[in-house]
Amino acid sequence: MRNYLSGLKRSTPNLVAVEAAFFDLDKTVIASAPMVAFGRRFYDAGLISRRTILRGLWGQLVYLHLGASEEKLTRMRESVLALSRGWDQGNISAIVEDSLTSVVEPIIYAEALELMAEHRRKAD
């Protein structure tokens, strides 16, 4: 494998190394599940029901106090994916962008901000 990669680099002199960092928003960057954080905004936009908000809040409380198995987390993720299937990406982006200051900034983990800043410094 090493010889193959060495040969690849020699045969493609314009090959550029690209680095990327990906951060999971849910409990990694913000101290809440995104569906809970943006629940009110999604409700106001007619995307979710009041019942969905209440179920999300209940799930958040249970998770915070009892945790969740990988199986439970998978079921929750699949449920949210099914709920959001078909949503207009532009509409969601507008809701999130409009809410960044009031919804996201107050619940961002300081450690996540520091890690993102470190990645930016390394990229410069």
CB atoms within 10 A of CB 112: 16
75-100: burial string, b at 16+ Cβ within 10 Å, e else: ebeeebeebeeeeeeeebeebbeebe
Question: How many whole angstroms separate alpha carbon 106 and alpha carbon 32?
Answer: 11
Selecting among 26, 44, 88, 98, the annotated active-site residue is 26
Could you confirm whether 88 is annotated as catalytic?
no
Around Cβ 14, how many Cβ atoms within 10 Å? 4
Identified catalytic residue from 24, 44, 88, 124: 24
**Does the active-site annotation cover 26?**
yes
Annotated active-site positions, please? 24, 26
